[in-house]
């Protein structure tokens, strides 16, 4: 089903002069406009503490589009897009500043015929969310609006509950869109199609056929200029509580009754409810030391800007998780994420059980290794598996044969950027790919036992696949009965 243009509305980007708006939001909105997926009538109002004016925002936006957009910067398209851009300075520490924003929005409502329909996007540090919500409520701007919150939604269960309570003072739950940009990736959404539109796959998608599952998010980059944030978050808060658990829920949830947003979100919440709380005994934490990544020497984490010299924050985490339901009982899920690893990849590997029949041993063929299916989320988006076939000629010699699907090869196009899909869906009031309050809070419950773990932080050289202890975690003797 093709995406339709959302109804007329105004988008308000808080943090419009920040890095997220420059790298992701403004280019995504321009790309949507080029593809005819913006509302027929819309305006984009940047807001924040910067002393920009309309032309200043347009100049920044043009540079962002030129550098990061999927579409080439076209002057005719740019002029049409730029006409809808404006800026209102509204420092959060000035209670009166939102009055000017209210006046601008009222004028735009009349011009667009939007009937108060607005999308507030909080592209700011999460510490600013409560103040933004209070200011919106004080000015009476929440009535026919929606609000988008970037992760992290809190830093633990208590703070997530507190933030949700603050947001609900001005907005009802159907108005709240909590973003995890991984869910905007085409290949994550394709997991549902691959599972539920292919009967052969769905019948094998359970503990009867699956030995274990590995979900890996590897980044060659370090913390860059985000040392202060990472010192407070670490890999557990930055990656596991949101991205990894969300991908896991898509891979393992039960079939929804329909593709309606709440049916899909109900199944995800049900799956998270079936997950066992994480255990410190099934967790490995690591921190990168100096090394070589992609041919370049890189410093240790403790040498990065705004990082404590004796920091014990983890930049790598590996853990074993369990789902206590009939479909997945006894199947371990190995989740790992880390920085300064050899290459960038996000992948789900489904490892199938070995055959119990030793049909080919009489032909001198050793035990056959288990099949595995790889769902590649980035960067080479696609699905691959390896099966065995007899080599041509006399005798019985087996070889492995790859089967591979890639978006670029099959559709001659690359998937759209995640933020394009998520921005479109928020404007269209489609919450399928956004996080619901109960799922966010349950995710924090799952990771709570290990969030502030005192487990050893193992050093690993930058450019390697993490500490050796992580390999021990996945070794069959560590989890397989007998």
Question: So which residues are the catalytic ones?
Answer: 243
Are the C-beta atoms of 336 and 466 separated by less than 8 Å? yes
Residue 207's nearest CA partner among 351, 66, 55 is: 351
Report the distance separating Cα 457 and Cα 312, nearest Å. 7
The dihedral built from the CA positions of residue 467, 469, 471 and 474, taken in this order, carries a sign that is negative
d(CA 90, CA 182): 30
Three-state secondary structure along the chain? CCCCCCCCEEEEEECCCCHHHHHHHHHHHHHHHHCCCCCCCEEEEEEECCCCCHHHHHHHHHHHHHHHCCCCCCHHHHHHHHCCEEEEECCCCCCCHHHHHHHHHHHHHHHHCCCCCEEEEECCCHHHHHHHHHHHHHCCCCCCEEEEECCCCCCCHHHHHHHHHHHHCCCCHHHEEECCHHHHCHHHHHHHHHHHCCHHHHHHCCCCCEEEEEEEEEECCCCCCCHHHHHHHHHHHHHHHHHHHHHHHHHHCCCCCCCCHHHHHHHHHHHHHHECCCCHHHEEEEEEECEEECCEEECCHHHCCCCCCCCCCCCEEEEEECECCCCCCCCCEEEEEEECCCCCEEEEEEEECCCCCCCCHHHCCCCCCCCEEEEEEECCCEEEEEEEEECCCCCCCEEEEEEEEEHHHHHCCCCCCHHHHHHHHHHCCCCCCCECHHHHHHHHHHHHHHHCCCCCEEEEECCCCCCHHHHHHHCHHHCCCC
Cα 208 to Cα 353: distance, rounded to the nearest angstrom: 8
List beta partners, residue 218.
338, 345
- Report the interhelical angle of 54-68 vs 75-82 (nearest 10°): 140
Q: Answer for the pair 46, 57: CB distance below 8 angstroms, yes or no.
A: yes
d(CA 91, CA 266): 38
Alpha carbon distance 334, 99 (integer Å): 50
């Amino acid at each position: 089903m093709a995406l339709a243009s959302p109804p007329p509305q105004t988008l308000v980007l808080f943090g419009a002069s920040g890095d997220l708006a420059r790298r992701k939001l403004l280019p995504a909105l321009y790309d949507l406009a080029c593809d005819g997926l913006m509302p027929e009538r819309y305006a984009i109002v940047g807001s924040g503490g910067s002393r920009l004016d309309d032309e200043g925002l347009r100049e920044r936006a043009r540079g962002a589009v030129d550098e990061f957009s999927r579409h080439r910067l076209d002057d005719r398209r740019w002029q049409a897009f730029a006409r809808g851009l404006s800026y209102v300075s509204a420092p959060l520490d000035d209670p009166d500043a939102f009055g000017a924003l209210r006046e601008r929005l009222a004028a735009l409502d009349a011009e667009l015929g939007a009937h108060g329909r607005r999308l507030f996007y909080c592209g700011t540090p999460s510490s600013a969310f409560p103040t933004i919500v209070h200011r919106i409520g004080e000015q009476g701007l929440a009535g026919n609006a929606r609000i988008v919150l970037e992760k992290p939604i809190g830093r633990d269960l208590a703070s997530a509950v507190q933030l949700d309570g603050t947001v609900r003072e001005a907005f009802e739950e159907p108005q709240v869109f909590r973003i995890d940009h991984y869910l905007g990736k085409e290949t994550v959404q394709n997991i549902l199609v691959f599972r539920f539109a292919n009967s052969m796959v769905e019948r094998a998608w359970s503990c009867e056929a699956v030995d274990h599952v590995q979900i890996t998010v590897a980044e060659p980059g370090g913390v860059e200029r985000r040392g202060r944030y990472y010192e407070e978050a670490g890999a557990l808060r930055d990656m596991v509580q949101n991205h990894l658990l969300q991908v896991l829920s898509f891979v393992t949830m039960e079939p929804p009754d329909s593709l309606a947003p709440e049916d899909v979100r109900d199944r995800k919440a049900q799956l998270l409810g079936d997950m066992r709380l994480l255990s410190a005994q099934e967790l490995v934490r690591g921190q990168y030391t100096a090394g070589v990544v992609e041919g370049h020497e890189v410093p240790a984490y403790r040498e990065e800007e705004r990082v404590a010299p004796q920091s014990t924050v983890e930049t790598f985490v590996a853990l074993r998780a369990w789902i206590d339901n009939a479909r997945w009982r006894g199947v371990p899920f190995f989740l790992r994420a880390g920085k300064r690893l050899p290459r960038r990849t996000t992948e789900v590997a489904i490892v199938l059980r070995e055959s119990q029949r030793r049909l080919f041993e009489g032909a001198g063929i050793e035990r056959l290794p288990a099949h595995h299916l790889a769902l590649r989320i980035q960067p080479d988006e696609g699905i691959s598996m390896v099966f065995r076939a007899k080599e041509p000629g006399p005798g019985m010699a087996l070889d492995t044969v790859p089967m591979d699907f890639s978006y670029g090869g099959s559709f001659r196009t690359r998937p759209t950027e995640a933020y394009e899909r998520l921005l479109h869906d928020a404007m269209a009031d489609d919450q399928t790919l956004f996080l619901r309050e109960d799922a966010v809070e349950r995710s924090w419950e799952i990771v709570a036992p290990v969030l502030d773990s005192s487990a050893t932080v193992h050093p690993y050289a930058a450019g390697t696949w993490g500490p050796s202890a992580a390999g021990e975690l996945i070794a069959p003797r560590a989890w397989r009965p007998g």
